[in-house]
Each structure stands twice: as structure tokens, then as C-alpha cells.
A and B are shown apart, each in its own frame.
Chain A
């Protein structure tokens, strides 16, 4: 069992950048373009890891520590993430709190690294990031509480695999609402359309990208890889919730999970292809909407 957990963790480490490739490819296809190769992020990472470094004269050790702690924190979250029906390498009651707070630590150090440059643009991005995530956090956690109530478990590794076809039959609408809320949070936290556009070229309108403007070389590589992992861990929670299938055969369950991740990436690509970015002032409303969905789900569950 534990060996499987570690194998899946390695799969995440290897496959996470592929998700972004799939998203971008889907988006390009929807727009009628060919798009970048599926493995583009791998090429970028390889290139970045071979570069030297340029640091702003304004920055201090905080700027240099940011990418290291950020990647370490998201790896800490990965350590707690169940893969489909398999328990995470590290799992305990209440680990979902630690999961949320590791992502919080990652955000905190990214924001501080951005402020360390002294650039107004990066300050702007940092300000938006902390505001949107403060709104997203309660919605994420309320969804977790709902799941705890449905499955009777409070560890990610028992709670998410505990969502079965039976629980969908019993509490389908509530689970669907939680999934919808989590999808919104996933898009917001990972800087996807409709909240943030990773391909925009105007610093004024960016959130996540603008915070890492001054990072380059190896540091940028660490940040991009960390972002891919963050998408993977948050996606993994959503996919586990949405695939209540259990074959009991290790490789089949793994295939279901990986297939689910692939579909999720295609889905995000379709959303990005079909929607425009929201005006920044509308984003809080979207996140409050997610919070409302989560509250509604809880009300359905408690009754």
C-alpha cells in the first residue's frame, strides 16, 4: 500500500507539468490554432535550470528564499494528497488543515518575494493575490467540512476515497455543489481564466504572473514547477471527488484517476477557450459565489 503511495507521488512529480501542456493545447485547438507542444513546460524547465541568475539590487534573502520555501510547501501538500483511491504517503486525521495551510505558506512567501522587489506592479499582484485567496479559503474549507459530514472521515486519504457511488446517490446535489465551488477555487488559485490570464501581456491586469516578473533562471523554474504541482494537488482533490468508481485493482484505479486528471485538464482548457477573463472587480463576486455554493451544500447536508 505504501509503495503504491510513493509510486503515485513520483507520478505526480513527473506528470504535473503535462497538465499545463494539455490545458494550453486544448485552448489552442478551441481557438483554431495548433498550439505549443504538449511537453512545452518540460522544455522550459530544462532551459531555465541551465541558466544563470539575475537578482534585483533591491532584493534581500527573502526574495531568494521565496521559490525554495514555496516549492517545499507545495511538496508538503503533495505528501498529503491521496491519488484516486490510494492513501497519501503521509495521512492523519485533520491533515486537510495542514494541506490548506501549506498552500497558504506557499502564497505567503510568493507575496513577500514580490514585495521584496519594490516594484509597484508586483505589489499590485501581491495585493490581489492575498485578497482573492482570503475569500477562497473559507469556501474550500466549508467544502471539506461537508465532505467530512458525508463520509464520516476527517483525513484527506479516507475522506476522498470514501466518496462512493452510494454517497453520490445519497447526497448528490450537495457533492455537486461542493465540486462546483472547488472548481472555481481551483481556477482562482491557479491563476486560470476567468480569474487571471496566464498569457496576458499587460502587467496591470495580472495577478500571479506579475508577482514573479523579477524571478528568472533556476528560481523561475522552481516557481513554474511549483505552480504545476499546485494545480495537480488541487486537481487531484476535485478528481477524487468526481470519480466515485472503485475497481479494487491497483492499476485500474490508477488509470481512472489519471484519466480523470487528463479530463480535468481538457475541461480547464475548454473553459479557457470559451470564456474571457472577468474584470478584476468581478472576481470577488465569483469567489463569494463559490462560498455561497459551499454554504448551500452544507445546508443540504445538515438539513
Chain B
């Protein structure tokens, strides 16, 4: 526990130091990066220890705020979320140190590191807070720090709009959380989490729905995701990695913590979560397929993966409510492992996308191509991340999805769930999501890294420096490690699964002793395929040893003058999908076709704006703005009067409070 406190202290101190050193970008960077990396090291040790030993730790002291003590605790569930937070922020900081180099002297580097380390500290605090007020304060700090990080390039209109959208969305979500904690506090007469006892069913249902909306906005549940595909691409890449990899997971953490606090769930919660998971998962990947901007594509994949996590949670809830502990353990286990996995591969992919943008100056996939030659390390790590996020064996994404599939299969069996429909939906949905995600990442990797460079910028690309390469290599290694070490990775999660399901850690997966053995079998399969692939490589090398191996141009079907512009683009690759899902994507197409015998230049462009933003939220907010115009006179921009408002509100509240006594 003390190491976690030290980590938080380090982060806060380095954040302040970076802010004070804002005039000297080099010193500010050293402070920011060093602080984040040291804190990462300090924080990872207790997190792993808690997971491996299952021990709990907590720390409480009185403070001047109402509603209980300043109470923080570290249990296995918190540790599962802390590991990616500490690991990814430390690696992203190392990467960011050199990623931000071109901005020295143009932007306030010190302020950026202040926000980055403050964000990390708040992320940690959110996960270890055991008091509603502390939780909300950390939550708000997290949102504000992310906002300033998103608008780092605030001279760009896109970045400002994205930041604004993020700020509005996150505060709407927080409003629901305020109500949630107020309800909980009223029932328990304290905001301390461990004072909250069993709630009446109606109250529990209300809290659950508030949590789904409030935390779901942060996590990016469809259709509350609208801020996500705007904000994540706008931020610098190391920040995108942290936002996508761990910041949105705090929404999942909040939901998980509420599930633990609320105790035995009714079945319909599981139905709700599986429904949300299916819609987020499928629509997330469908929107991703239609994107041309590499980082936007990755942002939509975050929505998809949050959907997969929600599917796992839903299965867990169904297992709990119907008394199938193994199904529950597999569902929650899959969800928790996917939380870690997604942080690893999505962090990796955003860092890779950042390296591409850094090297070529563009994120438009149709302007890239052939980067695998110039950037071999980025390409190698990106392909590992791509295969992992598509859930392909033998990587980590497959392991977490396998746990969910396995739970769903058990639930489908006769004697499984009384109504196996959600389990069928989960399995078929995961299969569809898997197929679409594989297609999407074949597109992302294939168009960006393979083929010929489509523009001079892509041709002039260069590999990034060691400080940017090393974090990607570490993350790719972690993806492989969890894949090939599946039995141990899953076994390490047992205490956390025990915390969620209420079974003792030693009995998790205990009802079926084969379930640990089958992960061993899985590993044998992985090792066999990897071994055969290497063996085949050796055989081919020996066969080709004394034979002619020549280079030639790609087969051009008799057309003698191909140019790189003629290659299949991201848009053409995804055309089948865009056409098939046209009813939901509503892709806009602008084109001027060649006409006449001597045609002029022709063009064709497609754009897929977010339907939920444009067709649902925009009209609603326009209505709200229209309805509130009559109150416009309150807003006049005079600071003294605003302070008067605050004072008047306080006095009114005091009078009301006094009259209640």
C-alpha cells in the first residue's frame, strides 16, 4: 500500500515540478517522464504482489470532508486495473518524451507533462478510492487533465471541438454518478464503500442503471461513445494510448466496483450488459471499418473492445444470478483479462499509429503504404498488436475471448442457463466481431504498412528513435507473453475473480479441474503451431539453398505501367462492408466522374460521420439550446456577478440546511 502512496506522491510532485519548469522543455520532460516511469515501477510491485498473494491492503485517515474518511484500499480487482495503468503510463511517458520533441518551444511542454502525470495520479486514485467523495474528486481531476491533454494542439479547430465534446460528455456522465453516490450515501449514511450494505431491489436497480449510464459514458458504450472517436485522435499519440488503453477502463472499473457493492444481481442486468456489449462491439467495429484516419479507426475499436468487456461482464452477471458459478467466473475472468489485454494492444497500436504520423505527417491511410520497409520495428510490433486485437491465436486477445466463449458454451449446454439466448447471442456476436475486426486490421496494417508508398511523404518515412520503439517492443512482448503463458495469466486473476463472484480464490474454476488443464492444452496447440511454422521456414530455406531466388515486379496482368496510386485503398478494401452496412453507416460520397471523350480530372471521396452524433445528439442538444435561450440573460460574462451567484446559492443552501435541522 505504501508503495502505491509513494507512486501517487511521485506523480503529483513530478507534475508540479514539470509545471514549474515549463520554461525549460528539456528539464520539464525529464521530470515528467522520470516521475511517470519511477511511479510505474513503484506501483507495479504492490499490484503484482496483491494479485499473486491475494492479500488486501487499505489505508484510512480522517479528513475535513463530509461523508466518511479519506479511505483508499488495494484489493485484487483494483490491482487488475492498476497493472495496465502503471505499465502503460510509464511506457507512454517514455514514448511521449521524444514524441513531443518537435513541439518544444511551440507549446508548453511543462503544462502537458503536468496534465499527463496528474492524469496518471487521478487514474490510480480512482481505482484505489474507497470513498465516494474521494472517487468523484479523482474522477473529475481525471476528466479535466484529459481535457487539457486532448486540446494540446489547441490552435487546430478539430482539437478544440473534440475537447469541448469530451468535456460536455464526461460531465453529463459525472452528473449521473453524482446522483448515484448521493443515493448510496443516503442509504448508508456514509460515502465509504465498505459501509454500503445490501440495498432494496428497487434501489439496487436504480443504482445499476445510473452506473451503466454514468460509467458507460466514460467507457464508451454505444451510443454514449460519441466523444470517443473525436477526442482520442485529437490528442498526441502517447496520450491517445493512455486514454484508450486505461482511461476509458475506469468506466469499466466503476461498473465492476458497483457490481461488487450491489451484491447478488438479477438476471436482467446481464441481459442489459450483453445487449450493450453486442451493440457496442458490432457497431464499433463496423464504424471502424469505414474510417480512413488511422487513429479514428483505432478509437472506434476501443468502443468495440469495451463492448467485448461488457459481454464478459454480462455473462458473469447471468452466471451469478442463475447460480452457475463457473459460467460467472469465466465471464468475469474473460472481461478482466480483456481489460489488461486491451490496454496492452490498444496502447501498442496507438503508439504505432503515432510513430507513423510522426514519420509521415499524416494519419490518412490512403496516403500511406509500404511503411514496413522503412519502419520494420513499428511494422513488426503493429502486426502483433493487430493480430492480438483481432483475437487471433496465439496472442493474448484470443485467451480472454476464449474464456468468454467457453463460459458461453457451458451456458448453452443442457443444464446450463435456463434461457441460453444471451449465451448464443454472445458467442455468435463474438464470432462476428472477431471476423470484422480481423478484416479491419488486415485493412489497417495492409494499407499502411504493405504495398508501395502512395505519396512522397510515405516514401520518405523513417523509423522512430529508440525511446519510441522500446515501449512498443515491450507491449508486443507482453501480448505474446500472455498468449503463450495463458495458464499462468489466468491463474493470476483468480483472486480478482473471487472478489467479483464471492467464491474463495482457491475454488475459482475449481468446479471443473479441467479448465486449468485445458488452458495447458491451448498452450500446447499454440506451441505446436509456432514450432511447425518455424520448422517449415527452415525446410523452405534448405530447399531454396542452391536454387535461383530472383526479384521481379508484381504480376501486373499485362498492364505495363502501374503506379502506386492504383493500389487498393483503405476505402476500396472496406467497400463491401460499407455497402453491406450502409443503412447504419450512412457514408457520404462526393464524386465527380470522368465525362466526355477528353475527361477532366475526376475525384471521389467518402466520409462516414458518426450517425449517433449527427442524428441523435445534435438535434437533441439543439432543442435544449433552443429551450434555454430565454435564460441567456443570466450569462453575461461579468465575473463579479458570477461570484455573487455562487455566494447566493451557498446562502440559500445554508438557510435550507438550517431549516431542516
Q: What residues of chain A have their CB less than 8 Å away from a CB belonging to chain B?
A: 49, 51-62, 65, 67-69, 71-73, 75-76, 79-80, 90-95, 97-98, 100-102, 104-105, 107-108, 111-112, 115-124, 126-128, 130-131, 133-138, 140-142, 145, 148-149, 152, 154, 203, 213-214, 217-219, 222, 284, 298, 302
Interface set, chain B 430-459, CB cutoff 8 A to A: 431-432, 434-436, 438-439, 442-443, 445-447, 449-452
Tell me whether B573 is interfacial, beta carbon within 8 Å: yes
Q: What class of interface size applies to chain B in its complex with A?
A: 35 or more
Main secondary structure of the interface of A (DSSP, over half): helix
Taking A98-B393, A119-B556 as known contacts, 7 extra A-B pairs with beta carbons closer than 8 A to each other, sorted by chain A number, are A54-B552, A62-B450, A90-B521, A93-B514, A98-B402, A123-B451, A214-B555
- Nearest residue, chain A, Cβ from B522: A98
Bound complex: CA of A67 vs CA of B38, how far in Å? 44
Do A119 and B436 contact each other (CB < 8 Å), given the known contacts A92-B518, A112-B442?
no
Q: Which of B464-522 contact A (CB under 8 A)?
A: 512, 514-515, 517-518, 521-522
Considering the chains assembled together, what is the distance between the CA atoms of A265 and B640 in angstroms?
A: 86
Contacting residues, chain B, for A127 (C-beta < 8 A): 568, 572-576
Would you give 15 A-B contacts (Cβ < 8 Å), ordered by A? A58-B370, A59-B554, A65-B533, A68-B536, A91-B521, A104-B434, A112-B445, A116-B372, A116-B451, A123-B567, A127-B575, A137-B432, A142-B427, A217-B544, A302-B421
- From A62, A130, A140, A302, name the one whose CB has the most chain B CB atoms within 10 angstroms: A130
Cα A117 to Cα B392 with chains together (Å): 23
In Å, the complex CA distance between A120 and B567 comes to 5
Q: Could you tell me the distance between the alpha carbons of A53 and B85 in the complex, rounded to whole angstroms?
A: 48
By the criterion CB–CB under 8 Å, are A58 and B452 in contact? yes
Q: Is the CB of B573 within 8 A of A149?
A: no
Interface residue B612 (Cβ < 8 Å from any Cβ of A): no
Check B438–A108 contact: CB distance below 8 A. yes
Tell me, in angstroms, the Cα distance from A59 to B409 when the chains sit together: 41
List B contacts of A222 (CB < 8 A).
Answer: 536, 540
**B323 within 8 Å of A (CB atoms):** no
- Chain B, 377-430, CB within 8 A of any chain A CB: 379, 383, 387, 390-393, 398, 401-402, 405-406, 409-410, 412-415, 420-421, 424, 427-429
B284 to chain A, nearest CB (A): 14
Interface centre among A94, A131, A145, A222 (most CB of B within 10 A): A94
Which residue of chain B has the shortest Cβ distance to A51 in the bound complex? B547
Is B653 part of the contact surface with A, judged by Cβ < 8 Å? Answer: no
Q: With A92-B518, A108-B390, A134-B432 given, is the CB distance from A52 to B548 under 8 Å?
A: yes
Give the CA-CA distance A90 to B528 in the complex, in Å. 10
The residue among B369, B406, B533 with the most chain A CB atoms within 10 A of its own CB is B533
In the complex, are the beta carbons of B438 and A60 less than 8 A apart? Answer: no
Chain A residue at smallest Cβ distance from B576: A131
**B residues 526-548 with Cβ under 8 Å of A?**
528-530, 532-533, 536-537, 540, 543-544, 547-548
Q: When A and B form their complex, which 7 residue pairs have the shortest distance between CB atoms, in order from nearest?
A: A123-B568, A134-B435, A115-B446, A118-B451, A130-B439, A52-B547, A72-B533
Q: Which of B451, B550, B566 contacts A53 (CB 8 A)?
A: B550
Q: Is the CB of B392 within 8 A of A104?
A: yes
Taken together as a complex, chains A and B put the C-alpha atoms of A138 and B369 apart, in Å, by: 32
Query: Closest residue of chain B to A117, judged by CB?
Result: B554
Does B637 interact with chain A (Cβ within 8 Å)? no
Within 8 A of A (CB), among B552-591: 552-557, 564, 566-568, 572-577, 580
| Nearest Cβ on chain A to B556's Cβ, whole angstroms | 7
Q: Are the C-beta atoms of B452 and A93 separated by less than 8 Å? A: no
Residues of chain A contacted by B435 (CB below 8 angstroms): 104, 130, 133-138
> How far is B438's CA from A145's CA once the two chains are assembled, in angstroms?
22
Q: How far is the CA of A144 from the CA of B547 in the complex (A)?
A: 46
Pair B438/A107 contact, Cβ less than 8 Å: yes
A218 to B402, CA, bound (A): 34
Task: Determine the chain A residues whose CB is within 8 A of the CB of B401 once the complex forms.
Answer: 97
B549 beta carbon closer than 8 Å to chain A: yes
Residue from A55, A80, A119, A135 with most neighbouring chain B CB atoms (10 Å): A119
Contact A101-B552, Cβ < 8 Å, known A95-B521, A137-B431: no
- Which A residues lie within 8 Å of B518 (CB)? 92-94
Would you give the shortest CB distance from A102 to chain B, in whole angstroms?
Answer: 7
Q: Pick the contact of B370 from A49, A93, A118 — CB < 8 Å?
A: A118
Flag if B554 contacts A58 (CB, 8 Å): yes
Tell which of B438, B446, B525, B574 touches A80, judged by Cβ atoms closer than 8 Å: B525
CB-CB under 8 A from A219, the residues of chain B are 540
Which A residues are in CB contact (< 8 Å) with B445? 112
Return the CB mask of B77-105 against A: 1 if under 8 Å, else 0. 00000000000000000000000000000
> In the complex, how many angstroms separate the beta carbon of B290 from the nearest chain A beta carbon?
13
B387 near A203 with CB under 8 A, answer no
A91-B524 Cα distance, complex, nearest whole Å: 11
Q: A112 touching B413 by the CB < 8 A rule?
A: no
| Residues of chain A within 8 A of B443, CB atoms compared | 130
Q: Is the CB of A123 within 8 A of B521?
A: no
- Asked if A131 contacts B536 (CB within 8 A), the reply is no
Residues of A with C-beta under 8 A to B171: none
Instruction: State whether B557 touches A71 (Cβ < 8 A).
Output: no
Q: Which residues of B contact A104 (CB under 8 A)?
A: 390-392, 434-435, 438
> Least Cβ distance of A286 to chain B in Å?
14
Contact, CB under 8 Å: B548 / A72? no
A135 — which chain B residues lie within 8 A by C-beta? 435
CA gap between A53 and B514 in the complex, in Å: 47
- Chain A nearest CB from B107 CB (Å) reads 36
Q: Is B551 an interface residue (CB 8 A)?
A: yes
How distant is B538 from chain A, measured CB to nearest CB, in Å?
Answer: 10
The distance from the CB of A203 to the nearest CB of chain B, in whole angstroms, is 6
Given contacts A115-B451, A135-B435, whether A55 and B552 have CB atoms under 8 Å apart is: yes
Residue B554 contacts which of A68, A118, A128, A284 (CB distance < 8 angstroms)?
A: A118
Contact B555 A119 (CB under 8 A): yes
Decide: A148 near B393, CB < 8 A? Known: A54-B551, A98-B522, A115-B446: no
Q: Is the CB of A57 within 8 A of B551?
A: yes
- Given A52-B548, A97-B406, A115-B446, the answer on whether A149 and B452 have CB atoms closer than 8 Å is no
Closest chain A CB from B208 CB (angstroms): 28
Residue numbers in A under 8 Å from B540 (CB-CB): 68, 218-219, 222
Q: Pick the contact of B406: A93, A141, A284 (CB < 8 A).
A: A93
A79 to B522, CA, bound (A): 11
A100 and B405 alpha carbons, distance in the complex (Å): 12
When the two chains form their complex, are residues B434 and A115 in contact, meaning their CB atoms are under 8 A apart?
no
A130 to B141, CA, bound (A): 43
Which chain A residues lie closer than 8 Å to B551 at the CB level? Answer: 54-57
Alpha-carbon separation in the docked complex, A30 to B140 (Å): 73
Task: List residues of B (136-187) whose CB comes within 8 Å of A's CBs.
Answer: none
Q: How far is the CA of A283 from the CA of B530 in the complex (A)?
A: 34
- A145 and B412 contact, Cβ closer than 8 Å, known pairs A101-B392, A108-B392, A137-B434: yes
Q: Does the CB pair B568–A115 fall under 8 Å?
A: yes
State A115–B529 Cα separation when bound (angstroms). Answer: 23
Shortest A229–chain B CB gap in Å is: 12
The answer to whether the Cβ of B373 comes within 8 Å of any Cβ in the partner chain is yes
Cβ distance B227 to chain A, nearest Cβ, rounded Å? 28
A98-B522, A137-B431, A203-B557 known; A55+B402 contact, CB < 8 A? no
Min CB distance B191 to A, Å, is 43
* Given A123-B568, A203-B557; A92-B514 close (CB under 8 Å): yes
- Find out whether the CB atom of A92 lies under 8 angstroms from the CB atom of B521: yes
Contact B442 A111 (CB under 8 A): yes
Residues from chain B with Cβ under 8 Å of A102 in the complex: 393, 525, 529
A58 to B452, CA, bound (A): 6
Closest partner residue, chain A, to B438 (CB atom)? A108
The smallest beta-carbon distance between B537 and chain A, in angstroms, is 5
Q: Is the CB of B409 within 8 A of A94?
A: yes
Given contacts A68-B536, A72-B536, A126-B573, contact A214 B550 (CB under 8 A): no
